[in-house]
Amino acid sequence: MRDAVGGLLIRAGDLLGGRARRGLTVAERSVLAPVFRDGLDLDAIRVVPERAGPLGLNRRPVTLGTTIHLKGRTGPGLLVHEAVHVWQYRRLGARYVLDAIRAQYSRTGYDWRAAGTDRFAALNLEAQAQLVQDLHDDPGLATAYPALVADALASVRSPSTPSTR
């Protein structure tokens, strides 16, 4: 069920993105490559730079499947955050869309510190994305939260296999 609804949302997003979709720029690749290394196929990522249709009602960038809707926003940290959602989609399938929406409205939301864990997998999907974004913006977090940061980087850099998508 979650896969079906998530799949519909992803297809709707692709339709709305339409012709405005493009691949990553050289600058964007240079931001993402050192973060994900072999853990994410950057060639598969599409970007819609501006707001597209109803997706523009909410100003926050959104990632549906492998397409990142930036809605006019820019910034390397933000791009890293949305790319984590692509990584999640590759691992979890379409159900990640609904899991991410639920995470937005959860008690801890984007606050990965509040989760009080050393395990990346124990964070909700938005907290995972926010942690990797914050780490990009402030590399000092690796010193302050060594176990969690090490687990996060090992996770996003591990190549996906057929069983993990």
Q: Which residues bind Zn ion (CB under 5 A)?
A: 126, 129
Under a CB-based contact definition with an 8 Å cutoff, are residues 147 and 163 in contact?
A: no
For Zn ion, the closer CB: 16 or 129: 129
For Zn ion, the closer CB: 24 or 129: 129
For Zn ion, the closer CB: 92 or 129: 129
For Zn ion, the closer CB: 138 or 147: 138
CB of 95 to Zn ion, least distance (A): 16
CB of 126 to Zn ion, least distance (A): 5
> Long-range contacts: 122-128, Cβ < 8 Å, 24+?
124/99, 125/85, 125/88, 125/96, 125/99, 125/100, 126/100, 127/103, 128/84, 128/88, 128/152
CB of 85 to Zn ion, least distance (A): 6
Q: Which of 66, 116, 60 is nearest to 86 (CA)?
A: 66
CB of 110 to Zn ion, least distance (A): 7
